[in-house]
A = this chain, B = another copy of it.
Amino acid sequence: MQNAFVEIAGVKRSLHVQVAREIARKILSGEVAQNEIIPGEMTLCEQFKVSRTSLREAIKLLTSKGLLESKPKVGTRVTDRENWNFLDSQLLDWLIDIGDNNAVYRDFLSLRNALEPEAAALAAENATAQQRILLSATFQRMDDISKDFELESWTEADMEFHRLIFLSTGNSFYLPFANVLCTMFKSFITHSSVRGSTCINEHRAIYSAIMAGDSDKARQANIDLLSKSKRRLPGSN
């Protein structure tokens, strides 16, 4: 019998999550091909040394992220890549763990280019009073840190700032990006892709425009920030 939780990298994970992670790794890395039928449940149980209960919960997890598809008699099949939910932060975590992150960083930067200016514009129009308070506090922190720079705390505040913008759009479909953004930033930290300066003035421009409710100015300010920081972001060198 297995322990309910095993500590991995300081985080306790239940068994079925560990199993799911291991299977996901094999799928995402291409070790098992798309459309391939993975071994039957009994085989996998023996392979991972877990009960069928846990294994099935693991498979349900992966199924719901679009990686697998089960049918009686035929088995469990790896789906086409186009069905994988890359905007799921857990999946993204697994993807980053594999390594080969330059492509991931590059693709994500491309997505930010499309989304953040529009998100900033929406936030300028729709941010609630409470969200404006949070944004103010966070920008204040950025401003302070920029004067006495320290990488880790800056990155944390920077992340929170952009996260809040997504949450302030008032658009449900922008919410998932907040978490994806955090996952990426945390990866930047642990993989220590050092970033040069803070672009505090560009951030201030975004902040001011949002607080003023000027969506056009917010959009443009975000475009300016992205184009200025392009050279220093991971994946662009």
Contact = CB atoms under 8 A, between A and B. Distances in A.
Given A85-B176, A86-B176, A110 B61 contact: no
B82 A85 contact: no
A111 interface: yes
Contacts of A60: 16, 57, 60-61, 64
Interface residues of A, number: 43
Interface string A117-133: 11100100000000000
Copies of the chain in the assembly? 2
A144 interface: no
A221 B87 CA distance: 27
Interface stretch (A149-157, A167-175, A192-200): A167-175
A225 to B, nearest CB: 16
Query: Per DSSP, are chain A's interface residues mostly helix, strand or loop, or mixed?
Result: helix
Contacts of A53: 53, 56
Residue from A60, A83, A119, A180 having most chain B Cβ neighbours under 10 A: A60
B172 A104 contact: yes
A86 B114 CA distance: 18
A188 interface: no
A18 interface: no
B113 A82 contact: no
Contacts of A22: none
Contact of A115 (B114, B172, B176, B179): B114
Nearest to A122: B110
Nearest to A85: B176
A171 B107 contact: yes
A65 interface: yes
Given A61-B63, A84-B172, 7 more contacts: A57-B57, A64-B90, A82-B167, A82-B178, A84-B176, A86-B176, A104-B172
